[in-house]
Amino acid sequence: MATPSQDLLTYLANLGFGIPGTNLFRLQEGDNAKIQGQRADPTTTIYPYGGEPPEMIQNSPNHPAIATTRHQVKVRSQDAGEAELRAWAIWEALFLPNVVLATNGDLTAYTMIQPLGEPGITDPPDVNGRIAIGFNVRMRRK
């Protein structure tokens, strides 16, 4: 079973927003964020965090719950304009009603993937001088 953050990472990779483990990460940005020996810039990282309580359909334990998870998507770059453009492009690609995402052959049906709020600066520049532009995403699945 793939986790929602794995599904989101795979989806973004399939759209061309990065290469997992190179300039596209989940849980933490890797120290090996390099492309052809150079520091990868920009990088995108998906951070899962607490979601909402599951909902029971028709208040019956015999029906599946709808689980909601949340993630923060951060784009880091030394060029703030580039980070902002990438964050907005990802934000626009994540308005997904009723979509099935596949990760390593596992299929997960999501009733909704929805960005929460618009992209904005989330952190001061890091030790490499890269600004972080990010936003939060809600993912609902059965």
What string of pLDDT tens digits covers the 142 residues of the chain?
788 899 999 999 999 999 998 889 998 775 555 555 556 678 899 999 887 777 766 666 666 677 888 999 999 988 889 999 999 999 999 987 777 777 767 778 888 888 998 999 888 888 778 889 999 999 988 7
- CA dist 77 and 61 (Å) reads 47
27 dihedral zone (left: phi>0; alpha: psi -120 to 50; beta): left
Q: What is the pLDDT of residue 46?
A: 95
Cα torsion 129, 87, 45, 103 to 10°: value is -160
Res 106: pLDDT: 76
- Number of Cβ within 10 Å of residue 111's Cβ equals 14
pTM score: 0.84
For residue 32, the model assigns a pLDDT of 53
Domains of the chain: 4-141 (3.30.2000.30)
